[in-house]
Structure 1
Amino acid sequence: MPVFPEIFAGTIFATNLTVIGTILFTGLVVFVVLRIALARMDMRSPRGLQNFVEWVAEFTTNMARETMPTEQAVGFMLPLAFTMLLFLFVANWLGLIMTIAVHFGAHAPAGWGIAPGDLANAKGEVELFDSPTSNMSMALAIAVMVWLISHARGLRHPKIWLKHFYSPSPLAVIEEITNPLTHGMRLYGNIFAGEALLGIMLKAPFLFGWIPWQLPLIVLWLLYSLFVATIQAYVFSILMCLYVGNKSFEGHSHH
């Protein structure tokens, strides 16, 4: 598996600089797209990016209303669902559109936080640009964030929040623990697998040294992976709405 430049390497605070950079880049792309769409907004004849952003807004509104118990909960969830859907859509596509990697010999540049043994295991390859969601830590981090938000919202009604752990059975506690794991691992697994297989195809040797036999497979797999990346952005976002909706007890507060 490729290694990445890190700070605080070898400690519990080890930070993957490539993932941090691509997260910031993804956020910048989303910001620029929204800024351009709003700057050219025309209420009478919307077009271009405005049409796309309005469609995403309408889509997430319907998604929130189908999963949240009250309009108050919809109002709380809509900004997060809209942002998450756009962010994951861009993040999931990044590594399929472009991956940047550098190759070193026995040693990486000083200060990169990469041990010679790690570099040898990665065959000298260090990735500098990739989908942030193809990193397990990042995918699990946003899943844990969703878990924390859902329980923080549930704690607004502490009696009902405590009761839901025993309904329909005490095994609900196990489900609460596994939800963020399955939520994040599903996203990570699909994005990582798609990019990994695409990378293998790209590195496959040509037939007779000059015939790119893998080209049709690469095109088909790329199209499929782009479809999966889009679906995974939706799946993660709607599960987020469901988890937060299940902890939004406004509709039960009168019980």
Structure 2
Amino acid sequence: MKFAVVVFPGSNCDIDCYHAIEDVIDGEVDYIWHQQVDLSGYDCIVLPGGFSYGDYLRSGAIARFAPIMKHVEKAAAEGKLVIGICNGFQILLEAGLLPGAMKKNENLQFICSIETITVENNQTPFTLEYHLGEEIKIPIAHGEGNYYCDQQTLKELQKNNQIIFRYKDNPNGSIDDIAGICNKQGNVLGMMPHPERAVSKLLGSEDGKRLFQSILSYWREKKSESRTYSSASI
């Protein structure tokens, strides 16, 4: 399996994501500059946290128009895995790959803390290694993490089981305590908490490690199914 970590001007969590993939789960990973236009060789695309383009206009509003994003959209449409973390989540929202929008935190302050997150759906490629309802410790660091959507969208997210993570003690005012959502197909995940910063006890938590392990497990299972189908067709 091959991962791509997209780097925008202002990204600052790309190295953390690279480390989590290469050193923690022993995955193959490349940095991909925002002007690159080919993601065909990758199975999972990671949009990391940071302050892309200085967060001018709105967080993620300029990065949404980077050349790479057309190819992220193409990869998502093809069923490849895409995960946006913090600023990456904001970019996915701006690009329309996930519904809703981000507002400033309810207290109008930047928040940096370790939060308790509840796993609301463990049947996605990103959460297979977690238990349903499990409480995990994942850090957050954002000024615009107050997720918002209209009531109709919220009902659809709830109905389709697209709410993947919720805050136990909502730190930013997000509607329905939402910390992470996926698209209807389940292959695109956006989350404000930083799993790449929770991959070792030295960091205060290793609960984020299983998110990356889940991705790897999902890919291996898909590969195994593909080989079985190919053998049966001969």
TM-score normalized with structure 2 length: 0.29
Greater relative CO (CA pairs within 8 A, separation 6+): 1
Larger Rg: 1
Structure number with higher strand proportion: 2
